[in-house]
Structure 1
């Protein structure tokens, strides 16, 4: 029996590629460039499955043009906002993702961003790096203390809970909003808020960990930023579409936000050029899951889903 053929449109970890080639006929984009809609459609006639990242866009228009040969899209990501799920399902294409395996790595980045934003890391790095550090006083580089502060989390899924665990090490008072309240074992003493509006006024620090959906697009808008305490710190490691970036800039201008830490943006790659000269925005280029351990785990989880599908089982992460 011929081995299924899969397309890997981005350069995944070496361990993932080695395992994939041992099991499947593979078409691998070794140059790691982006693929257009036409590229995706053309490849769908040549393969049985695809392991895409969030950089490959499966819109309704693309889904309508996919070749019937393609049977499964095993995403190398947790988020699937790059996939029009109803359109793909209507074509009989299975879609999976990779939950569980990147929670800690992403939570680490959220902690880095929160600390860096609160303690003015961008400004401090510039001063030392450029030789401009020639002064000290008790009022120099005073930031916002994390230890003991109130942390608001929107989205208490795997990543949100992993971030809360790490924040407890700083003695933070954790409040959260989630579509459903967690059980007491998962809450671990966190305070549940039954609406975003009831969470925001108590959040000295606010971190987003919810998925990007049509309902959550622009979730943090001017009205909601205005409900935060003055001088709050805002962190986003989820998706850029959750945030009205103009409203966030406005909140930074007025002092409603003292700082922001961002790993994702409305436009990627590239980010928002209006952020570039603002030292109270600590930014990273969407690297929340970028550790060797996590990249291997994500690749293996995608391959586990492919293996299950092609042997006739229901993949563990079928959406």
Structure 2
């Protein structure tokens, strides 16, 4: 049976093809060159839809879910995180919420380690210097930063992505500390990782990489006090969710030299970035590209579409996060 499927933003053809081959009517609200659809756009498009395929940029609250009407059976989020969706409201309406776990771990880990290296070795600052025509010669004290090899990496949240980052760090001879709600004996054995309380991890790590989901317990997990525990040569990396870090406190810490540098791929109020961060040389800023490889975005789109197709067949989608 053909159903109406709303795709909030244009996704790779790999996903669209799955939806169309299943015989569904696919309506895409905004193409790749346009901003995300507004609440008004969603309210107008959703009545009569059986499925909504979203990305992290759409806020799907109780109002949006209510506007869809009784036919809506699934909200399929093309992301691992789903803090942009009111899961409780969806559950109350009998709407399944799904995500795309397991397909972007390695690519996001690549991004985290890229930011770690770039922040430590001042790559962004160096490129700006060169492009401005202000690099005149090699200098013995020019753009020096801390070594990565052999240092200590603290990982906050040792899930699949955190473990993938740890594997990369082992290739750099790094000692691995981790903070998580529960022990990870498999990771401890494979990666020689040591579990640590957050405060101890921050004090003892040369680099800290955040990989925890966003919830009320992790919002502003890293604030002014936590940053003050890190050393003046320490580097903070965040590829999880922006609000896990107090952005204003981070900007102050970077400006004051409380920590050496930071590498960020996510922000508290995306696409806005704290203006003070924009002025600082010792922070590398990426526009939420953690999963942005060709192969991974194709996989994410395919998994999101497969979740939709399963739900519309009356099956339990493979990646449901509620019941």
Please show how residues 84-233 of structure 1 align to structure 2 within 5 Å. 84-185=86-187, 187-233=189-235
Query: What is the SS of the residue equivalent to 1:301?
Result: helix
| TM-score, with structure 2 as normaliser | 0.94
Contact kept, 8 Å, 2:166 with 2:191, in 1: the verdict is no
Query: CA–CA distance in 1 between the matches of 2:222 and 2:6?
Result: 37
Q: Is residue 200–residue 224 contact of structure 1 (8 Å, CA) maintained in 2?
A: yes
Q: Residue 188 of structure 2 contacts residue 194 of structure 2 at CA under 8 Å; is this kept in 1?
A: no
Q: CA deviation at 1:196?
A: 1.1
Q: Secondary structure at the match of 1:313?
A: coil
Question: How far, CA to CA, are the matches of 1:204 and 1:260 in structure 2?
Answer: 12
Decide whether aligned partners of structure 1 residues 64 and 14 sit closer, same or farther in structure 2, where only a CA change above 3 A counts.
closer
8 Å CA contact 1:5, 1:25 repeated in 2: yes
Give the conservation status (yes or no) of the 8 Å contact 1:7–1:28. Answer: yes
Report the Cα distance in structure 2 between the residues aligned to 1:183 and 1:90, rounded to whole angstroms.
Answer: 37
Range with greater deviation from structure 2 (49-58 or 245-254) = 245-254
Report what 2:21 is aligned to. Answer: 22
User: How many Å separate the matches in 2 of 1:60 and 1:192?
Assistant: 41
Q: Match of 1:260?
A: 262
State the match for 1:13 in structure 2: 12
Shift of 1:129: 1.2
The 5 Å alignment of 1:281-292 reads 281-292=283-294
Q: Do the aligned residues in 2 keep the contact of 1:209 with 1:238 (CA within 8 Å)? A: yes
* Cα RMSD (Å): 1.6
Q: Is the 8 A contact 2:5 2:49 kept in 1?
A: yes
Which structure 1 residue ranges, 5 or more long, are not aligned?
none
Residue by residue over 1:255-295, the C-alpha shift from the partner in whole angstroms, topping out at 9 and shown as x without a partner, is: 22101000011121132222222111111100100111001
Shift of 1:214: 1.4
Task: State the partner residue of 1:68.
Answer: 70
Q: How far does the alpha carbon of each residue in 1:224-243 deviate from its partner, in whole angstroms, 9 at most, with x for none? A: 11111222100001111111
> Structure 2 regions of 5+ residues with no counterpart?
none
CA distance in 1, matches of 2:254, 2:111: 21
Contact 1:41 1:67 in 2 (8 A): no
CA drift at 1:186: 5.9
Deviation of 1:30 (Å): 5.2
2 CA distance for matches of 1:295 and 1:189? 28
Higher relative CO (CA 8 A, sep ≥ 6), structure 1 or 2?
Answer: 2
Equivalent residue, structure 1, for 2:2:
3
Contact 1:64 1:87 in 2 (8 A): no
- CA change 1:16–1:164 in 2 (3 A) is same
d(CA) in 1 for partners of 2:260 and 2:222? 16
Question: Is contact 1:149-1:172 (8 Å) kept?
Answer: yes
Cα distance in 2 for partners of 1:7, 1:116 equals 39
Aligned residues: 318
Distance 1:40 1:30, change over 3 A: closer
Task: Supply the distance in 2 between the matched residues of 1:92 and 1:186 (Cα, whole angstroms).
Answer: 40
Give yes or no for contact 1:228–1:256 (8 Å, CA) kept in 2: yes
